[in-house]
Structure 1
Amino acid sequence: MKTPFRQAGFTLMEMLIAIAIVAILVSMALPSFNSMLDRQRVRGAAENLFADLQFAKTQAIKCSRSMDLIAATGSPWSYCVATNGSNCAAAATSDCATAGVWKATSGADFTHVTLNANASVTFDALRGAAPAPAAARPSPLPAAAARPNP
């Protein structure tokens, strides 16, 4: 007795249903994927800034000179590690050694990430320490309060 020949595989209808299910799942996952990408962009920019702060501190100690990390907002934002308060814009137009700029970072490398502060941090040559913000500095005691009572 002969058995009828049967083909293995999927029908067109089964393939269309499988593709529709995959499309629905992808459309549900896409918003969370975009937010994950945004978090990774911010994390990458923060890690790069942290590494450059460490670089500035290390170079200040190693070279026995003050180092500044100077940030500038704009489009795109940028910051640089420099000596003697050099201008970050000089990094793009001249030799780093003559401009005093050791390292420059542009916001164009980090799409969809903004920098909201024009600021600078100076690391001293002796210990590589940055001064505390004015609000965090302890104020000296008045002369009368500094003397112990007999």
Structure 2
Amino acid sequence: MGMIGNYIALDDIQIKQIADGEIELEQLDLTANETLDIDKSWQAIHYLLCGDICEGAPPLGYVVPMLDENMVDFAEYGAFYLFCAQVEEAFHAVAKLSERDVVNLYRFEAMLEDGVYPIVSDEDGESFFEYLLANLRAIQSFYEKVAAKKQGVIFYIL
């Protein structure tokens, strides 16, 4: 088992209610809306796009959102929300990334040195790249659907 990154699409009204503490994420049926599980790739994708384990400027910092100002209490690690406009920004930024762009951003040795989750010392850099790329493509597709529906997202780790 491990720390799995998950997204759920919600409308901005629900996200505002969660952000304002009017409703708690635990009260929602997390399987009732469009969801995405990116396995353990969340921190590595964030690092790939932002060059840091948890900090990252928008719009790429919105792809795996971990902004303190957008955090709500949920489970052990909290949850992070984006409104529709932020999802659209993230989608447009990530949609532009070709495989060549991702290859150019990929710094396996730096990830290993910085202790990026879930990399272990005997990890194969090529296999790990393929794993990241597959999950990044899944995020691109998810954000495209969510942006088209004019929804926001909640990202959480379980």
Q: Which TM bucket (shorter chain)?
A: under 0.3
What TM-score results when the alignment is normalised by the length of structure 1? 0.25
What TM-score results when the alignment is normalised by the length of structure 2? 0.24
